[in-house]
């Protein structure tokens, strides 16, 4: 762990001046003195030279980076640590262009690093813990306006083009005084919205939504109250969706102001990034957020997986 609180990128460089200092920190976080083989957790492990270990049962060698976002990377760990620090400490995110300039690497390498890091954000919520108490639910859309598209695309009325360029729907749920859950969904239909709501919210919760008809059947299993935005009603006593709409404002300011564009395929990664920031906004320091991400690095994704499909 840190010998002292790290509050800036300069402190981070001083705390991890060498590759070995980065490796030592990862070993403490990942194993805490009890090395476990990623190939067979029950196997005895032999300590070898060069920060390597050997799994007795499989005969395979490994190190602290094996099966993590750092696996097979040629980038030094200090740059990875700096990237993670910048991503977790910036309130609205950081673009791959800016990260590339900050680290002295190409935009392509910076984008790949950012996507690997974002792929770990979704692991920070305890999916077994359902939202309770008062929960606000709302949906939003992410994507460019039709009037801003090239004339050729606006004139193309085919279903394929409509599907490709239509805005993406995102469902959000926030427990008042607690955490937020958000996910990219196929549409704002009942079929797309109700299952994730039931999976993420306890049946004894009180839920607040707008008057969208897709939410109408929730009253069968929840204490469900609505506000009628179409009639200019936004608050009625404790009934409102202001908290989840505040989260949407943060998400959209980050996407439109920093990233400018996100594809449908990768949208969930960006949503997870802003969920992570929201859920750690009050109770964690920059150092704690940094270590929280490092505790969830066993979620490797390859470049081929990112660009295919």
Q: Give the angle 273-279-280 at the CA atoms, nearest 5°.
A: 90
Whether residue 160 has pLDDT greater than 80? no
HSE at residue 262, side-chain half, CA atoms within 13 A, is 29
Whether residue 36 has pLDDT greater than 90? yes
Tell me: the pLDDT tens digits for 245-267? Answer: 999 999 998 888 888 888 888 99
Pick from 80-89, 119-128, 211-220, 285-294: least confident: 119-128
The domains found in the chain, sorted by start residue, are 9-34+67-124+296-307 (no CATH), 134-279 (3.30.420.10)
Pairing verdict, β 223-226 and 206-209? parallel
Pick from 50-59, 239-248, 296-305: least confident: 296-305
Pick from 19-33, 191-205, 290-304: least confident: 290-304
Q: What is the pLDDT of residue 261?
A: 81
Q: Which residues are bridge partners to 170 per DSSP?
A: 140, 184
Whether residue 86 has pLDDT greater than 90? yes
Average pLDDT, rounded, for the chain: 88
Q: What is the pLDDT of residue 152?
A: 52
Whether residue 176 has pLDDT greater than 60? yes
Place of tokens 């109700």: 194
User: In which band, very low, low, confident or very high, does the pLDDT at 204 lie, cut at 50, 70 and 90?
Assistant: very high
Give the alpha-carbon dihedral of 161, 167, 265, 190, to 10 degrees.
-110
Q: Where does residue 179 rank: exposed (0-12), middle (13-18), buried (19+ CB within 10 A)? A: middle
Please name which of 174, 154, 151 lies closest in space to residue 164, comparing C-alpha atoms. 154
CA 49 remoteness from chain centre: 36
User: In which band, very low, low, confident or very high, does the pLDDT at 55 lie, cut at 50, 70 and 90?
Assistant: very high
Q: Tell me the C-alpha distance between 63 and 242, whole Å.
A: 47
Please name which of 174, 170, 235, 203 lies closest in space to residue 226, comparing C-alpha atoms. 235
Whether residue 43 has pLDDT greater than 60? yes
Q: Where does residue 228 rank: exposed (0-12), middle (13-18), buried (19+ CB within 10 A)? A: exposed
Q: Tell me the C-alpha distance between 186 and 170, whole Å.
A: 8
Mean local confidence (pLDDT), 210-224: 94
């Amino acid at each position: 762990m840190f010998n002292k609180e790290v509050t800036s990128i300069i402190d981070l460089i001083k705390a991890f001046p060498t590759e070995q200092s980065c490796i030592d920190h990862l070993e403490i976080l990942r194993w805490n003195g009890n090395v476990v083989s990623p190939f067979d957790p029950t196997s005895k492990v032999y300590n070898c030279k060069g920060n390597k270990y050997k799994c007795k049962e499989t005969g395979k060698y490994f190190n602290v980076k094996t099966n993590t976002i750092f696996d097979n990377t040629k980038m030094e760990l200090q740059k990875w640590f700096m990237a993670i620090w910048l991503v977790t400490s910036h309130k609205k995110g950081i673009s791959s262009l800016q990260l590339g300039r900050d680290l002295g690497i190409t935009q392509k390498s910076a984008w790949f690093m950012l996507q690997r890091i974002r792929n770990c954000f979704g692991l920070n919520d305890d999916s077994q813990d359902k939202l309770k108490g008062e929960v606000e639910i709302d949906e939003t859309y992410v994507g460019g306006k039709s009037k801003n598209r090239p004339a050729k695309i606006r004139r193309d009325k085919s279903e394929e083009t409509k599907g490709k360029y239509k805005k993406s729907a995102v469902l959000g749920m926030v427990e008042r005084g607690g955490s937020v859950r958000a996910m990219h969904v196929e549409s704002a239909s009942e079929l797309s919205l109700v299952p994730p709501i039931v999976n993420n919210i306890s049946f004894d919760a009180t839920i607040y939504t707008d008057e969208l008809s897709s939410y109408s059947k929730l009253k069968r299993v929840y204490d469900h109250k609505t506000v009628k935005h179409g009639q200019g009603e936004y608050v009625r006593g404790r009934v409102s969706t202001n908290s989840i709409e505040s989260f949407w404002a943060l998400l959209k300011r980050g996407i439109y102001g920093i990233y400018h564009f996100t594809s449908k395929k990768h949208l969930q990664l960006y949503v997870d990034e802003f969920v992570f920031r929201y859920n750690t906004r009050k109770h964690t320091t920059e150092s704690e957020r940094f270590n929280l991400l490092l505790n969830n690095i066993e979620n490797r994704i390859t470049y081929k997986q990112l660009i295919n499909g």
